[in-house]
Structure 1
Amino acid sequence: MSIWRLMSWKMTSTSGLTSEAQVTCLVSEVLKAKDFSVDDLPDNFNTHTEMTCFDTSEATLDPTDIFQIDGWRESAAEILVPTREKNPGGNGQSFTVQGFHHWPLVAVIRAAFSEASSCWFHLTPFKHFWKSPLTGQEQQVYNELYTLDTWNKAHNELQKQKRDNGCKLEWVIAGLMF
């Protein structure tokens, strides 16, 4: 478990230079975690070697295992390929691509919210305004998805829904940008 925690931290690091905040995070979320032990690390610890072991171990897991639920899938994809001939059935000839690898969207969302960094996701919408220092005129600023009127409206409608299942968790909207 200790190696898993350390490698997960390494994979989510955003740059080659580790900031003070990242080191603090490493200490508080990895080194001081109840299930982390320095004794679990081999004396000759090597990041590349552990990444290879990490990848190999995930590939051998049962498909129904929690670590495989958000994994890549392989299927055939059918696409329309444009041709110079008129086709009354569509805009091209159908072509099947075998071995198409994809990650289901719901699995991507589930994986993102399973990460420790998801505690930093902004899920509560608000309206952002700017007031001109010269004219005093206010105008709404749209700089993030969660500042949009549509997100605010959808959030409010979600909060008004009846909770029949006894769920006590906060209901939020996961905004996706493509």
Structure 2
Amino acid sequence: MLARLPEYIDPLHLADKRGELKGQIPISSLDRLADVLFNETGAVAVDLFFGREGRLAKVEGQIEAVLELKCQNCLQAVQWPVKSAVKLGIVTSLDQADRLPEDYEPLLVDEEKILLKSIIEDELLLILPAFPKHKHNCLAHKQGNNKVDFLPNEQQSPTKNPFSILAKLKNTGDL
């Protein structure tokens, strides 16, 4: 086990040595996540085990973080806890990827060393919601310029029916 996570790893070498990576990656270093994040503070806890099962080189473990995403309703911060199991089969070709067991996702390695943060970032992007939003109705009390945009609990005046003129004509027999 390493005290500090390396930037680049050789997954096949780690699998042969039955290596373990345990540590944290700063969220600010995950560039592809920047668009969905409200704030880039904090870190992703990484706990990965590399090994072999027969001919299959594999990575198993979990990642855990609390991300601050942009709510797609109010555009404010929403805390999004993430805890995900990682189960990857290390492959060097698409043919090998097709032969992986069903419960493994492929980790395609075309060079010896790959960025560890890329693996973590891919896993996070796969589990994040397309439209993150608060569990409560965050638009209910949104105020801007001293006015309330939407209050669902207040009684609203009945909307005028655009066909009310036709109803009057029908009742008078003019149709």
TM category (shorter chain) comes to under 0.3
Kindly name which structure, 1 or 2, has the bigger radius of gyration based on alpha carbons. 2
TM-score (norm 1): 0.20
TM-score (norm 2): 0.20
More helix by share: 1
More strand by share: 2
